[in-house]
A = this chain, B = another copy of it.
Amino acid sequence: MSRFILKRSISAICYSFIQPDFRLQSRITQASLQACRPPRCHYSKACEVTKMSSNDKLLPRIFKHVDENVDSYKQLLKEAVAIPSISSDAAHRDDCVRMVHWTQEKLKEVGATTELRDVGFQTIDGKQVKLPPVLVSVLGNDPKKNTICIYGHLDVQPALKSDGWLSEPFELVERDGKLFGRGSTDDKGPVLGWLHAINAYKAIGEELPVNLKFILECMEESGSEGLDELLFEKLKPEGFFDSVDYVCISDNYWLGTTKPCITYGLRGISYYFVEVECAKMDLHSGVYGGTVHEAMSDLIYLMSELVDKDGKILITDMYKSVAPMTEDEKKLYTSIDFDPVAYKTSIGAHQLAHNGVKEQLLMHRWRYPSLSLHGIEGAAFQPGAKTVIPGKVIGKFSIRIVPHQEPAEVEKLVMDYLNKKWAERGSPNKLKITAQSGRAWTEDPSHPHYQAAARAVRMIFQTEPDMSREGGSIPVTISLQEASARNVLLLPMGAGDDMAHSQNEKLNVRNYIEGIKLFAAYLHEVGLLKK
């Protein structure tokens, strides 16, 4: 529940969607960045440097170096993917620590100072389990240069070949210009991308145009446990952020598969663990079936009351605080480059929600909450006909929350609703509900930091980036915004079909290599911003 520390920042964070000047963002989003002179753009200095930067001879040399080192980039990603740093499974905690150490060595090799920050313990099944350390690193301390704080994560989601992977998930394999492996795109590829970009500057004998500060954790896929305490109780008081000018995170994806984007908004998340216990142990359904009030049927009942078949959340008042839709916002969705048919085909869905209407789909990814039922811990999950009555089951679901929804308020609505349903059920079993939440986040995409990134994108991809939001949640985004009080930007490397968290996660070779160039160009462009 460490996210509650952030409560005070909500009004600042979400302003862009409550202020009437949403019109401005809408224009910017619609490719007006080309002109770089939207109404009310206060950043003329930043605009001036655009021409200067585009004539620079430095970047072509860097790009050439990157093109010449593709094999070594793949090799390093292969090494990183081979470490199964699954943060949700305590059995892989050593692998998480190993992954942090491995990355520390790489940062040392580029000349950065590094330290491993202890972030304490987490409680799993009543036991104290040590958290992997957070890797904090500094490269450069030139007061004349801008300083970027870069965040990334080194842990991954669980993966088993038997889940439906075509190759071993922890063995990076290239097929058809795609690098398949758990963590390839989320988030080991992007983290290595920064290292490669730095190395490219070194390789051509040029100094970095910016100072860099890294915060690399290994618990992102498991609620970033311990990180907020580090940011707010250690790094901030120690002055770590004092010299930081901008924050950049590469931990999301393009909207589609061809057009790059820069992301200025994320949904939050409110994750629930609903535990029902009927017995101290699992029971044989033949021997005990008919004589106990089974925990599974209670849990399934509660889970069935959460969402209807069309995805409408049934929890009382869940939509009440959602930011109202303005006419201007409504129009915005029309111009976004998003193809519902390709989207449907890419996931092999039988039919999309909301009749597959593009605008509705985007709205329900970005600005409306959604509820997903993830699974049940403690029940039979293996193939075959296991005849168990689980003694204790933990149902898991989460709500992607959106601007104006406060985590504490959402949690209260969910708890009240579930407790009411539980009372209606009248079961003698034991119910326990816990929650973890992080709020939604938005930035102002007309900020010079965003414009610098947009110039970098244009340079690499010869196209205007979509200024997009994301349906996913990267709670650290809001934490970093709050801790640093600086502009935070999400600069995705991977494509929209990379299948993070899913079977056959991949990173396109093109996205990896052009992504390294993009990062190098972004460092260059930010270096040119007025200090």
Contact = CB atoms under 8 A, between A and B. Distances in A.
Interface of A: 87-91, 124-125, 157-158, 162-164, 221-223, 253, 266-267, 269, 271, 273, 277-294, 296-298, 300-301, 303-304, 306-311, 343, 347-354, 361, 364-365, 368-377, 379-391, 396, 398, 400, 425-430, 436, 470-473, 496, 499-504
B291 A310 contact: no
A89 B349 contact: no
A284 B187 CA distance: 14
A400 B309 contact: no
Contacts of A222: 384-385
B365 A385 contact: no
B370 A285 contact: yes
B348 A87 contact: no
6 contacts: A164-B281, A164-B282, A290-B369, A309-B427, A377-B383, A385-B396
B294 A470 contact: no
B290 A364 contact: yes
Contacts of A87: 384
The 4 closest A-B pairs by CB, nearest first: A286-B472, A88-B384, A280-B348, A375-B380
Given A300-B304, A425-B309, A499 B291 contact: no
Contacts of A503: 281-282
Q: Indicate how many identical chains form the complex.
A: 2
Contacts of A288: 347, 365, 471
Contact of A389 (B158, B372, B387): B372
A436 to B, nearest CB: 6
Contacts of A163: 282
Contacts of A374: 285, 296, 379-380, 386-390
Contacts of A348: 279-281, 391
A401 to B, nearest CB: 11
Nearest to A366: B290
A291 B361 contact: yes
Contact of A375 (B124, B286, B301, B379): B379
Contacts of A501: 282-285, 386-388
Contact of A347 (B292, B364, B471, B473): B292
A500 B283 CA distance: 8
Contacts of A289: 365, 370-372, 400, 471
A226 to B, nearest CB: 15
A132 B226 CA distance: 49
Contacts of A496: 287
Given A91-B162, A290-B368, A375-B381, 13 more contacts: A88-B384, A158-B382, A279-B348, A282-B502, A288-B365, A289-B365, A291-B364, A293-B353, A297-B308, A297-B309, A309-B425, A375-B390, A376-B381
A502 B285 CA distance: 10
A372 B294 contact: yes
Contacts of A390: 374-375
A395 to B, nearest CB: 9
A475 to B, nearest CB: 11
B89 A383 contact: yes
Contact of A304 (B90, B304, B502): B304
B292 A499 contact: no
B271 A387 contact: yes
B309 A350 contact: no
Contacts of A384: 87-89, 221-222
| Most chain B CB within a 10 A radius of its CB, from A90, A284, A364, A368 | A284
Nearest to A124: B383
| Most chain B CB within a 10 A radius of its CB, from A279, A354, A387 | A387
